[in-house]
Structure 1
Amino acid sequence: MIIGTGIDLVDVPRFERTVARTPRLLQRLFTEREQGMRLSSLAARYAAKEALIKTLGGSDGVHWTEIEIASEASGKPHFVLSGTTAAVVEQRGITALHLTLTHDAGLAAAFVVAEGEPL
């Protein structure tokens, strides 16, 4: 059963200006593995993290660096959660998260669907 959805859209040039102005933002928002990626890919990952927070209905117990967006061999993105963020997802009865990302024409977007049994 679908128990939540979330979507987010990021203006990539604005994201790039923000990172240039505040470089430490990368350490606060992204895991070490994510930090070396191109800014357009990071913008899509930022959108994914925002979309996940929307899916959960808020950010209580959620920490940015406990959410990593990794890719399967096929390129399909998926969440790798840890710490209290993983616990929040489990507490909400979520058993599967589905993620899609895109970036083109200066925009990055992410859509998340959470499946599980509502509590």
Structure 2
Amino acid sequence: MIIGIGVDVCEVARFARACERWPGFARRWLTEAEASLPMHSQAGRYAAKEALAKALLIERGLGWHDAEVICDEFGRPSFITKGSVAARAAELGVTRIHLSLSHDAGIATAFVVCES
């Protein structure tokens, strides 16, 4: 059963400008591993976390480092969750989180489906 769906887009250039303007901006939202990736991948991970928050119906209190986007050997993205994100998923009965990322025309897009 689907518990929640979330989608978000992030303009890569806008994300890059924010990172240049405010030192530490990327590290506020991204884990160390995520922040070490190319800018389009960082923007995609930011969008993924926003989409996850929407899918989990979280308005406040999400620990941004409590969800990390990783990719398997085939490039398929998924989340590692802990802390506040894992707790919210458990509260809703989420047993699986699906993630799709795409980058095109300067836009990073993320789509998340949470199911039980």
Shorter chain as denominator, the TM-score bin is over 0.9
Structure 2 unaligned spans of 5+: none
Letter in 2 for 1:48: A
Give the C-alpha shift of residue 85 in structure 1.
1.5
**Aligned alpha-carbon RMSD (Å):** 1.0
Shift of 1:86: 0.9
CA contact (8 A) 1:101 1:108 kept: yes
Q: Which runs of 4+ in 1 moved over 2 A?
A: none
What is the aligned partner in structure 2 of residue 66 from structure 1? 66
| TM-score, L = length of structure 1 | 0.93
Q: Which position in structure 2 is the counterpart of 1:19?
A: 19
The equivalent of 2:57 in structure 1 is: 57
1:37-116 matched pairs, under 5 angstroms: 37-116=37-116
Deviation at 1:81, TM superposition (A): 0.6
Kindly provide the amino acid, as one letter, of the partner of residue 18 in structure 1.
Answer: A
TM-score by length of 2: 0.95
- Deviation, 1:25, is 1.1
Stretches of structure 1 that go unaligned for 5 or more consecutive residues are none
State the aligned residue count: 116
SS at match of 2:100: strand
